[in-house]
């Protein structure tokens, strides 16, 4: 397993992962109908960097890193992670998150913030807690989940370095 910066060519493998996760509408506050060009803007163009977790040439996971705000808020980064459905349970999200924290420090960031972790996404919440992220905010009923109805979203934060 290699975690390396994504190339333009990797987007062909990132897109089906993005599409499946976003279309489900259960974890990311992104329009479920986002098309390929929109996905490229969100995941490849807007972020500072995009990375992939690759095994034998197959992209199993991907993350982006970007400043969460500009100006006086530019020292806090934000990341998003996605793992292919058939690669779940192998610790890929954990590996990517750990690597992204190292990369964040290299890029000069002092903290990492997740703006919108669904309280219903107990796997993600538990993993981020294990990795040292604290719940610093709770947005009441901020997400309309297709099966669960309105659920809270958490803001999670970790100082780095």
Interface ranges with a second copy (CB under 8 A): 22, 25-26, 28-32, 34, 69-76, 110-111, 113, 115-116, 136-146, 153, 155, 157, 159
- The four Cα atoms 127, 72, 49, 86 give a dihedral, to 10 degrees, of 20
Q: Which is nearer to a second copy, 129 or 159 (CB)?
A: 159
d(CA 49, CA 27) in angstroms, rounded, equals 21
Q: Which is nearer to a second copy, 66 or 94 (CB)?
A: 66
DSSP symbols for 38-92:
HHHIIIIISSSEEEEEEETTEEEEEEEEEESSSGGGTTEEEEEEEE-GGGTTSSH
Residue 89 CB, shortest distance to a second copy, in Å, is 24
d(CA 115, CA 118) in angstroms, rounded, equals 10
Q: Which residues 6+ apart lie within 8 Å of 10 measured at CB?
A: 50, 52, 59, 62
Residue 57 CB, shortest distance to a second copy, in Å, is 31
Residue 4 CB, shortest distance to a second copy, in Å, is 29
Residue 50 CB, shortest distance to a second copy, in Å, is 19
Q: Which is nearer to a second copy, 43 or 54 (CB)?
A: 43
């Amino acid at each position: 397993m290699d975690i390396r910066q994504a190339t333009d060519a990797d987007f062909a493998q990132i897109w089906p992962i993005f599409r499946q996760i976003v279309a489900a509408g259960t974890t990311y506050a992104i329009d479920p109908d986002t098309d390929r060009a929109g996905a490229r803007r969100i995941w490849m163009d807007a972020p500072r960097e995009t990375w992939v977790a690759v095994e034998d040439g197959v992209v199993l996971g991907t993350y982006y890193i970007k400043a969460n705000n500009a100006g006086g808020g530019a020292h806090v980064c934000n990341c998003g992670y996605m793992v292919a459905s058939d690669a779940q349970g192998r610790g890929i999200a954990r590996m990517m998150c750990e690597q992204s924290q190292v990369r964040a420090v290299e890029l000069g960031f002092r903290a990492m913030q997740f703006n919108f972790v669904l309280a219903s996404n107990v796997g993600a919440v538990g993993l981020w807690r294990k990795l040292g992220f604290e719940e610093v905010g709770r947005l009441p009923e901020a997400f309309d989940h297709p099966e669960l109805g309105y659920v809270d979203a958490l803001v999670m934060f970790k100082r780095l370095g």
